[in-house]
A and B are shown apart, each in its own frame.
Chain A
């Protein structure tokens, strides 16, 4: 098997050219492939199309690519955490395609599964339906949504083996498995890289077939957007 393990994030992302489309995992700042994003910032490639549920915050996650003016178009469901985003949108430096969250997840899933489009009731009767084909099934209206296949995908997993089998942790899974399938070339960063055979086949969330490159990250920031706590109960 051709080796999938790469040692350098900087070298890994060097194959990404200007104008590439990249599907990126994460929800808010949870489960984002932060090492790949920050390495891509250093390359300075421009005119990127980013497909991701959110667009990071100011100074964190995908927000750093915005600040560095590397993003031409963003496909996302919610971008309200980011002032840079607002400014670039108003200036006309950035194009945005808002997509309902479930539709976005399904567009990536469909793209990865070789399904070019699908019908959904989500968005019927709203601006989301503008310009889209619609069809009635059993008396109910649905709109046609197109799948997304990206040139590259950036994925963050908790554990991975050297053949690219992946395990995610808690809600850091989110869009990562979907991005992994929708990228023509998928890069994964993990917190723990193990030998082939060490992961229980029953526990694998993403089979290695979807993964082209895997890298071990360290010193994860794992920024928390809203730190909400309760008092520890007194025993």
Chain B
């Protein structure tokens, strides 16, 4: 498995039967395809759809039915449509069980940066800042190091924040961490990754109290 597959396969385990889930654009979108058909989940799209279905066939394509990534989609049985204020009312009101978002940097106190790189063209935060404060649980998925081999799991974020202290769980290709009142805790190591290797590739300080118990 490549690192992205590792992340996606681990991330999909966060989604349980009966959940209402928002998946971000990019890597999180791939998580949708990995959800077992045996479980029943409602995927939310912040442009106004609860119950995202598969991509349409050529015959089904409808310009009036897209997801937040502006891709054509379908609506599953039981789906509903609503306006953007309603959509963010369910997000900010704490009605979405879990939001899975991509990340550029996560810090040891659970800060997330994922919307802008200074000096590069600004695109905007879209709904990310709302999702990270509103969803009951925020899971960030990203590769552990950047293309230069530098840790994206930082002592503090160098990029502008999307949210402060908002991450509940971080899943990378190397490990899974939780952010708790006791700080950043290692929960799992990916197959074939040693604690030494993880420490070497992680700028953030994390504790292994719970991990050691397993």
Partners in one complex: yes
Q: Judging by beta carbons under 8 Å apart, are B72 and A122 in contact?
A: no
What is the minimal beta-carbon distance from B166 to any residue of chain A, in angstroms? 9
Question: Quick check: B124 and A77 within 8 Å, CB to CB?
Answer: yes
Q: Chain B residues near A228 (CB, 8 Å)?
A: 55-56, 71-73
Contacts of A225 in B (CB 8 A): 66, 70-71
Q: Which of A28, A53, A121 contacts B134 (CB 8 A)?
A: A121
Q: A124-B133, A173-B81 are in contact. Are A229 and B58 (CB under 8 A)?
A: yes
- A165 at the binding interface (Cβ < 8 Å): no
Asked whether B72 lies within 8 Å of A105 as measured between CB atoms, the reply is no
Asked whether A199 is an interface residue with its Cβ less than 8 Å from the other chain, the reply is no
Q: Is the interface of B mostly helix, strand, loop or mixed?
A: loop
Q: Is B88 an interface residue (CB 8 A)?
A: yes
At the interface, is chain A mostly helix, strand, loop or mixed?
Answer: loop
Using known A-B contacts A106-B85, A120-B92, A222-B64, determine if residue A171 contacts B122 with beta carbons closer than 8 Å.
Answer: no
**A89, A174, A205 — most chain B CB neighbours (10 Å):** A174
- Interface band, chain A: 35 or more
| Contact status B69-A226, CB under 8 Å | yes
Q: How far is the CB of A82 from chain B (nearest CB, A)?
A: 10
The reply to whether B123 and A173 contact each other, CB–CB distance below 8 Å, is no
Query: What residues of chain A lie closer than 8 Å to B64, measured between beta carbons?
Result: 30-31, 158, 169-172, 222
A171-B48, A171-B81 given; A102·B55 CB < 8 A: no
The interface-forming segment of B4-12, B157-165, B202-210 is B157-165
Name A106-136 residues within 8 Å CB distance of B. Answer: 106, 108-109, 120-128
Given contacts A77-B127, A101-B127, A229-B56, contact A86 B48 (CB under 8 A): no
B130 at the interface (CB under 8 A from A): yes
From A100, A158, A174, B48 is in contact (CB under 8 Å) with: A174
